Structure 1
């Protein structure tokens, strides 16, 4: 199955979050067709989780909870990590979701055992 263009996928994620009552927006827009995406979920208490794309053993897209590793969940650390990643990848998209419940609204599986 062919994957959606990044700008379309990002719009759908933002819409899912908004429908559920969360705020979501694009912090940084990368390549509209095939840029990678980081999804930051801020819980408005100086904590955040960061999700990045990966592939499982079958080649299907999954998301890694990057905060489950050494990155942790301090929002300032997450923001610094995102800043460094953006410097190295101008095509990178960054989507931020603000949700006190910490929901990510990703439809693909999320692996929380990621180690950085």
Structure 2
């Protein structure tokens, strides 16, 4: 059973902030079952991962959005996604090894 999205977001932001990073909600979606798009700010580039379910009904992280790493392109991407899906959560993380924080916090073992 998956935690409600708002609790997952809160746990992830707390872990990142406790590690000295910065985690912010760019857009909040449905508290219970909203999809989760995570922007990983890596200094010179921004990339995104999305939490999805695999065929075994387990959470996985899937690369999402443009691969150019340009901040403007990523901004346009998530805003277009959000326009189509108002339940989508968009959070941005600025911390070393951000994807590791995401994996450790939201993926099932």
- TM-score scaled by structure 1? 0.81
CA contact (8 A) 1:39 1:50 kept: yes
Give per-residue Cα distances to partners, 1:52-81, cap 9 Å, x unaligned: 1222231211011225xxx11222111111
Unaligned runs of 5+ in 2: none
Following TM superposition, where does structure 1 have runs of at least 4 consecutive aligned residues deviating by more than 6 angstroms?
Answer: none
Cα-Cα RMSD: 1.6
User: How do 1:1-116 and structure 2 match up within 5 A?
Assistant: 2-45=1-44, 47-66=45-64, 71-72=66-67, 73-99=69-95, 101-104=96-99, 105-106=101-102, 107=104, 108=107
CA contact (8 A) 1:41 1:102 kept: no
Find the counterpart in structure 2 of residue 113 from structure 1.
none
For residues 85 and 78 of structure 2, the distance between their equivalents in structure 1, rounded to whole angstroms, comes to 10
